[in-house]
Structure 1
Amino acid sequence: MKQRGRHRRRRRGQALRATLAGTALALTAAATLISTSQATGDNTPGTLTPVTSSSEIGRLRLHENLVTEDTLDTLTKDMGGNVGVSGVLTGADHTMRAEADCSGTERAALPLEPVATRAYCWAGEDARTQEWLPRSVTTSGDGHDNGQWGGRRVIVAGWSHNDHAAGEPARDKGLARVALIDASDPAALTYRWVLLVAPRDDGKDFDAVRADMGGMVWYQDKLIVTARDGAGLLVFDLHRVLQAGVDSEAIGKVRGGYSAHGYQYVLPAVGSYSPAGGTCGGEKSAPCIGSLSLDRTSAPGSLVATEGSGSTDRTRVWRYSYSTAADRTGLLGSDSLGRVDAAEAYRTKAAGLSGVLSHTPAGARKADWYVGHAPDSGGKHGTLWRQSGSGAKAVRCTADQSYACWGQHTASLSYWPQTGELWTLSGAGADPVPERVLYAVPLTSVDRSLG
């Protein structure tokens, strides 16, 4: 099928449908960009202050809603069965450009310090389109202990439709897609697009997921992304990558089979985590979720989250533990009522964060938290800080001793433990920019660069 340039689980199953708007998941990912003077190094996000108030911790509670297995099995069967990540990558139809083949403008988006050891630029129209924006990244290093899925090293990049692009039809607004990238050969990364969708009509149909992909984490067989305006999370199962056999502009069941707006593959949502209080935003409400990352150094592994860009006060960062039950792979730990509580939470002195990572070094008792900050305007480098309960240090530029030397327009962090690399991608600004680069730096280099 041609890929178009405009790439267009009981009662709990009922609870999930309550989170849908119309016929599609209304939850969408919150874009995470902040406004802060800290990029210049004039201020710091300060120490991490533990949140101890039970009422405040309670605001972080989520409620799990899973689609019924019957619904998912019906859709999977009707669409010909699971194609799988490997099936998509075997037919990868885009090749990323190596750093040497990136334009000067693209290379200018890379961090000044520490120097990226791997950098790749997108193919063809994906590097230039104003209709789509890169938002988040996660890898099979997050997903599995050996860093592989089906024998491949895989990177997943989340992109959202740019609803502000001139002339875009209403039907395209809010669309979300992921690039499945085969990174097995570091010299030749290939990828293919997959559209995110939501089952409907008991699995006899699906509709588009409207999201902006502000945060994304792969753990075991599940992909979790931030939901609409940061109001919770959406869950996808990588064992249920399905193929649409009809090439048309429609999304869902059509005459002759299923169509996915010109995409050949879809990834249907299998659940959601919604704020237990019903809404998010504001000091007395559940925080809207911005960035996400995985901490494999916690026990059990945990999903790390930051408050979204709407925060105007001391931004919160916190974590949810993953379930250890054998029949709940990749799902968060919940009680018998489906409630998911934060394992720990902190406040920073930052007005907002752009990317977060929690990591406990070997031999250490507590985790370091890495947080990104982005400048207001385009064409400027961001700042990367490491925070703990004793203070904060930023990556410092050797040339002028300033702190604005992280990449441009970056809003997602992902640590690949098997290689020791910190992955991110640029181009996550509020406005479309041409500096779209996927790159990695060794975490040890980040630590050595701290001022």
Structure 2
Amino acid sequence: MKHRGRHRRRKRGRALRAFLAGTAIALTAAATMISASQATVAEDLGALKPVTSSAETGKLRLQEHLVPRRTLDRLAGAMGRPVGVSAVLDSADRTLLDAADCTSAERESLPAAPGAAHAYCWDPSDSATPDWRPASVTTSGDADDDGLWGANRVILAGWTHSTTSGPAAERGLARVAFVDADDPARPAYGWVLLVVPTADGRDYRGLASHVSGMVWYQDKLLVTTEAGDSDALYVYDLNRIQRTTVDSPAIGKVPGGWSADGYRFVMPAVGTYRFPAGRCSASGPPCPGSLSLDRGSAPDSLVMSEWTPADSDRHARLWRYDFSRDPARSGLLATDPAGRVDAVEAYETRAAGIRGVLAHHPPGTTRTAWYVGRQADSPDGRGSLWRQDSAGAKAARCGSDATHHCWAQGAGPLSYWQETGEVWSLSDRMLFSVPLSSIDSSLG
């Protein structure tokens, strides 16, 4: 599908916002009291500290490596003409369940405050498999500024398979749920397996990486990678989704056609961004954590956070890269003639265990508010959500007291849908949205 130029459909946006405001649901989690073991006084994360030294910003530099077009075309020639997002949506065979139809355990994973406006649990055929877990989210609100891809509202959720349990052939694999969100009362979804083409374009392998971050911008999908080397991001083209022809546990070319562990669609990587400085470490490049899109910057930019353990006392980094304005490089980052990508802004934060990051520009101001969702102190506890800038930090509170462990269990990514004012995220069990205005109102 050819990517459409940007345009706003203001009437549609206003109608959609009104619909969302009128259908906000009352969720059990919003009334859940936080246990005494979680009721701690919020620590002060303080102000963001700008990172300006060339020695430190140089560690954030990326090198672009695009897969040759002839390689991709050879694979497509062998597999058949690529399809687009609409083909996946038309084949959707799963249904998201409204929160009212989910189990109490699933609902309890939602934020206690602020409450969710929309919330869904996954089809039982997927939620009953503990080896697969959702870890990242992006939407057609990122892809195009009118919030639509073609005629559809779409949500993408990245899932990762455990590396230590389940069938050996599936360990570490990554897949994406393509959610048709046109009907908020009954969203349907289908799966696409992320793969990497071989150098000669005659085969592919599964992407073995934890996709903790994901951004859909124009016709590209950028995902974080933890493949154990210097790769920071993999790049996928939404116009190069391929159908498989053989239903088998194998991944790649098989007798009689193409297989992907039973999935009907695969999406081959079209490029990577790597840290020339080497593998991520405390003294080197950061370990990529979460991603989001900032449409308020000029040009639009990719926002990233560094992953550090929740109990770490090391200051994590937050930074951004510009997207290219070249129409021939749709969805790719801005590079210099040598293919290098430099961070255009970077900060240190005292937050650790960051699972979600968002940069937003409040109307009428020149400042940038950075939102960070933090992992819980315990595996079954709630995370916390903070807003930081160069002046200080505030946390979302659970009512009038100082308790700030109010966010979702297994707190996940943050993705802002500009046309509706929603922030989409994931708990360890559910997909949900919260109005950004509600988040700001809950800040202590």
RMSD in angstroms over aligned alpha carbons? 1.6
- 1:125-177, CA deviations, whole angstroms, 9 ceiling, x for partnerless residues? 21121120110000000110111112100000000001232xx3332221110
- 1:233-289, CA deviations, whole angstroms, 9 ceiling, x for partnerless residues? 000000001000011111111111111111110010000000011221112x11111
Partners of 1:393 and 1:134 in 2: CA distance: 27
Q: CA deviation at 1:44?
A: 2.3
1:133 aligned to 2:133?
Answer: yes
Partners of 2:93 and 2:319 in 1: CA distance: 38
Partners of 1:221 and 1:392 in 2: CA distance: 35
Return the TM-score normalized by structure 2.
Answer: 0.88
Structure 2 counterparts to residues 389-404 of structure 1, below 5 A: 389-398=390-399, 400-404=401-405
Q: Which amino acid aligns with 2:316?
A: T
Number of the residue aligned with 1:143: 143
* 4+ aligned runs moved over 6 Å, structure 1: none
Partners of 1:138 and 1:320 in 2: CA distance: 17
1:89 aligned to 2:89?
Answer: yes
Structure 2 counterparts to residues 178-217 of structure 1, below 5 A: 178-217=176-215
Number of the residue aligned with 1:319: 320
Number of the residue aligned with 1:334: 335
Partners of 1:354 and 1:348 in 2: CA distance: 14
Partners of 1:256 and 1:87 in 2: CA distance: 22
1:221 aligned to 2:219?
Answer: yes
Partners of 1:271 and 1:39 in 2: CA distance: 45
- 1:377-401, CA deviations, whole angstroms, 9 ceiling, x for partnerless residues? 2332111000011100111111644
Partners of 1:291 and 1:354 within 8 A in 2: yes
Q: Which amino acid aligns with 1:324?
A: R
Number of the residue aligned with 1:308: 307
Q: Secondary structure at the match of 2:60?
A: coil
Q: CA deviation at 1:76?
A: 1.5
Q: CA deviation at 1:39?
A: 8.3
Number of the residue aligned with 1:362: 363
Partners of 2:341 and 2:353 in 1: CA distance: 24
Q: Secondary structure at the match of 2:327?
A: coil
Q: CA deviation at 1:309?
A: 2.4
Partners of 1:40 and 1:374 in 2: CA distance: 15
Partners of 2:169 and 2:60 in 1: CA distance: 33
Q: Which amino acid aligns with 1:228?
A: E
- 1:408-435, CA deviations, whole angstroms, 9 ceiling, x for partnerless residues? 11120000001000000111xxxxxxxx
Partners of 2:98 and 2:152 in 1: CA distance: 19
Change (3 A) 1:201 1:286: closer
Partners of 2:377 and 2:383 within 8 A in 1: no
Partners of 1:354 and 1:412 within 8 A in 2: yes
Change (3 A) 1:379 1:169: closer
Number of the residue aligned with 1:353: 354
Q: CA deviation at 1:201?
A: 4.5
Q: CA deviation at 1:229?
A: 5.4
- Relative CO higher for 1 or 2, CA cutoff 8 Å, sep ≥ 6? 1
Q: Secondary structure at the match of 1:202?
A: coil
Partners of 2:94 and 2:240 in 1: CA distance: 22
Q: Secondary structure at the match of 1:203?
A: coil
Partners of 1:48 and 1:346 within 8 A in 2: yes
Number of the residue aligned with 1:24: none
Return the TM-score normalized by structure 1.
Answer: 0.87
Change (3 A) 1:40 1:69: farther
Q: CA deviation at 1:312?
A: 4.5
Number of the residue aligned with 2:6: none
Q: Secondary structure at the match of 2:200?
A: helix
Partners of 1:136 and 1:39 in 2: CA distance: 28
Q: CA deviation at 1:83?
A: 1.6
Partners of 1:38 and 1:383 within 8 A in 2: no
- 1:336-375, CA deviations, whole angstroms, 9 ceiling, x for partnerless residues? 1110000000011223322100000112102100001122
Number of the residue aligned with 2:386: 385
Partners of 1:39 and 1:383 within 8 A in 2: no
Number of the residue aligned with 2:286: 287
Change (3 A) 1:318 1:41: farther
Q: Which amino acid aligns with 2:174?
A: A
Partners of 2:343 and 2:269 in 1: CA distance: 23
Partners of 1:88 and 1:141 in 2: CA distance: 18
Partners of 1:38 and 1:44 within 8 A in 2: no
Partners of 1:114 and 1:376 in 2: CA distance: 19
Number of the residue aligned with 1:437: 430
Change (3 A) 1:73 1:41: farther
Q: Secondary structure at the match of 1:71?
A: helix
Q: Percent of counterpart pairs with the same letter?
A: 54
Q: Which runs of 5+ in 1 are unaligned?
A: 1-36, 428-435
Q: Which amino acid aligns with 1:287?
A: P
Q: Which amino acid aligns with 1:61?
A: R
Number of the residue aligned with 1:237: 237
Q: Secondary structure at the match of 1:309?
A: coil
Q: Which amino acid aligns with 2:385?
A: L
Partners of 1:69 and 1:254 in 2: CA distance: 23
Mean CA deviation greater in 149-158 or 75-84? 75-84
Q: CA deviation at 1:204?
A: 1.4
